[in-house]
Structure formats: C-alpha cells, structure tokens
Structure 1
Amino acid sequence: MADEIMCRAFPTMLKGPVRIWFSGLTPNSISTFKELSAQFASHFIGGHRYKKSTACLMNIKQREDETLRSYITRFNKKALSIDEADDKILVAAFTNGLQKGKFLFSLYKNDPKTMSDVLYRTTKYMNVENALLAQEKQPKKIERQEDVQQDRGRKMARIGER
C-alpha cells in the first residue's frame, strides 16, 4: 500500500525534463517504488551524460508526414538529454519546429509560458482532432445502415410483386 502511494505521489513533484521522462514511461511497466527509483537513478544519475546545448533543440523540425504526437515524442527525447533546459527555450524550440497550420497559430495566439502549458494545449488539440475524425466517420456508418434498410425494403417490395 505504501509502495502504491509513493508511486502515485512521485510524479506530482516532477518538473521539466524529469516530468517529460516520467511521461515517456510505458504505462504499467513499473510495479514497485523500488523499481521506479532504480529507473530514475539509472536514467539521471547512473550513466553520466555529457551536457548538450539547448541549441540542438532548434534543429528539431516536425516532418511533413509526421503526426503531432510523433513530433512531441521526438522533441521530448531530445529535451531529456539537455541538462537544465529553460522552459522558455523549450517552448521556443518546440514552436519553432512545428509545421505551419492551425495548431501553431493557436499556440502563438495564446502564448504559452511553460512547456507544461504547451503539452497541455497539444493534448487538447489532439483530442479535438481525434473527436472530429471520429465524428466524420460516424455518419458514414449511419448512411450504410440506412442503405441496408433501403435494400431490404426493395427486396421485400420485389417479393411482394411476385
């Protein structure tokens, strides 16, 4: 029970790259706090990494055929390799790499201040996009059901004519 509480409390204290690292963990891949601690230590302490400059983030660009989700994943992996990346630089680099479009426009319009805010807005945008796609697909199913009912009606009418 204490293990579960510690695992649930752990992410509430995270910020910046550590939060990004935690968000990238596969759901249900860690079962104890000891295991979570070991993963954390090996990632941030165990293999001492050389410091990378935040300038390398400016080279990350969303590819033409790349989804927003894939771009976020790639960006976050690179951001994790940078020690003490400033939130303003992360936001600037992320938005700099986005393809021009409605989402980029909405980010500039609302001017997010933190990377957490950017990720929150990104998630909301992707959820809306998914809902709209699902809504577009739904009427097609209804139309098909109506077509089937009309076909049955025609068949019944033909049978009745005989």
Structure 2
Amino acid sequence: MCRAFPTTLKGPARICYSRLTPSSISTFKELGAQFVSHFIGGHRYKKSTACLMRIKQREGETMRSYIARFNKEALSIDEADDKILVVAFTNGLWKGKFLFSLYKNDPKTMSDVLYRVTKYMNSEDTLLAREEKPRKRERQEDARSDKGRKMARTGERRED
C-alpha cells in the first residue's frame, strides 16, 4: 500500500509526500497520521452555538434578510439545540410588537418561531401592498390635475 500510495497523489499532497525523509515511516497508519497532521490546518471546524448570539437584526434590516443571515449561520453549526436557536434568534430581534408577541406566546421550537415569522412577514407585505395602491392613485390623480391646470393655462379643453 505504501508503494502504491504516491501514485494517487497530486498537488500539495504529492509535495508533502516527497518531503518525507526516506525510511522514516514503517506503516501505512504512520503515513496516514503524517498526512492528517500536515493537512489538519485546512480542515473547517463547525462553529459553536455561541456565535449565534452575536447575530443581531440591523437597523432598517427586513425580517427576511435577518432570517436569511441567521439561518446561514445556524447551518454552519453542528447539531444546534432547538432551544438555543430560539433564544439566539429572539435575542437578535429589534424591540417591537413582533418580539413582544414572541415573548408573550413563548415558542418552544425554531419551527414555531419560523411559522410565526412567516405569518408576520406575510402580514407586513399585505399592509405594504395596501399602502402602495392609494399612493399610485394619488400620483395618477396628481398627474391628471397637473394636466388639467396646464390645459387651462393654454386654453385647451379637457376631456375626461
């Protein structure tokens, strides 16, 4: 195995192998240990749940954006406890009606929190859409009245 092993190596692994002193390794297990110790620095460790406590909703940040950032970090944590996820998520929220409602009803799982957040975001979107419709009408009415004023100045007749 030790003789066939070098033929499978490329790039940095081949360089590492070529730098080993001759006859310094007597078993395949030793060779594996040498490689592991050499390349362990490139290993990506999972983050701890403590890093979730640093995630805060930014000023003016939408709930969707905050959830996306939070979930991205949560996925990089190995076996995160659901209760810790709930605490970290609510800890990072801005103070307001939604946070108050979460504390009032005390969700037990992250699924409960995400369900409530989704309902909140849908309600928020509906209210925003409702506010935008009158603004469009107001702009159209403003444009009509501007056109009417302009026609009155030039002596044209308006046909509505």
Per the TM superposition, whether the score is higher than 0.5 is yes
SS in 2 for 1:112: coil
Match of 2:70 among 72, 75, 94: 75
Deviations 1:63-115 (Å, cap 9, x if unpaired)? 12322111111111111111111111100000001111121112112211111
Query: Equivalent residue for 2:107?
Result: 112
1:50 aligns with 2:45: yes
SS in 1 for 2:95: coil
Query: Equivalent residue for 1:87?
Result: 82
Query: Equivalent residue for 1:15?
Result: none
Q: How many correspondences in the alignment?
A: 114
Greater relative contact order (Cα < 8 A, sep 6+): 1
CA RMSD of aligned residues (A): 2.5
Unmatched segments (≥5 aa) in structure 2: 1-41
Unmatched segments (≥5 aa) in structure 1: 1-46
**C-alpha distance in 2, partners of 1:87/1:74?**
17
Identity of aligned residues (%): 78
Structure having the higher Rg: 2
Change (3 A) 1:149 1:96: same
TM-superposed CA distance for 1:152, in Å, is 6.3
**C-alpha distance in 1, partners of 2:96/2:45?**
36
**C-alpha distance in 1, partners of 2:43/2:114?**
27
SS in 2 for 1:84: coil
Query: Equivalent residue for 1:101?
Result: 96
Query: Equivalent residue for 1:27?
Result: none
